[in-house]
């Protein structure tokens, strides 16, 4: 094999390796973007959950302290609505965490095998 053929073969391998790398880089960027969105949604849901817990606490405080009542139950309409919202938030968070977990499991696959070729041509 003459010098020009070896150079062409080496360049072709470099171009193919670059193509593969860019494809994987694009997939990785997309995956990171999707994970980032899921994490952001989880944080937003957690924030909504904190607000609902605060509403529940305020409701209970008002009920016991301001209205001087001795008990409150989950059958109370306001309490029931808040508890339902908290359940919904909890379920929504679990769904997103499952997606993140499934995505992370996919990241643990075996790395792509290389053919052992490098920039040297042993011909």
Q: CA-CA distance, 4 to 115, in Å (whole number)?
A: 23
Closest CA to 99 of 49, 25, 14, 34: 34
- Give me the tens of pLDDT residue by residue for the chain, a chain 123 residues long: 676 677 677 777 777 777 777 777 777 777 778 888 999 999 999 999 999 999 999 999 999 999 998 899 999 999 999 999 999 999 999 999 999 998 777 665 544 444 444 444 444
112, burial (CB in 10 Å: exposed 0-12, middle 13-18, buried 19+): exposed
Q: CA-CA distance, 56 to 70, in Å (whole number)?
A: 16
**Where do the structural domains in the chain lie, given as residue ranges?**
3-104
Token pair 């609902």 is at which residue? 52
């Amino acid at each position: 094999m003459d010098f020009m053929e070896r150079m062409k073969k080496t360049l072709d391998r470099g171009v193919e390796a670059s193509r593969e790398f860019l494809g994987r880089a694009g997939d990785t960027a997309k995956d990171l973007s999707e994970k980032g969105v899921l994490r952001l949604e989880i944080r937003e849901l957690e924030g909504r959950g904190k607000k609902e817990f605060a509403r529940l606490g305020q409701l209970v405080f008002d009920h016991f302290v301001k209205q001087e009542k001795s008990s409150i139950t989950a059958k109370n309409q306001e309490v029931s609505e808040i508890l339902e919202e908290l359940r919904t938030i909890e379920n929504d968070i679990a769904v997103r965490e499952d997606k993140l977990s499934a995505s992370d499991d996919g990241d643990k696959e075996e790395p792509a095998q290389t053919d052992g070729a490098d920039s040297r041509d042993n011909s």
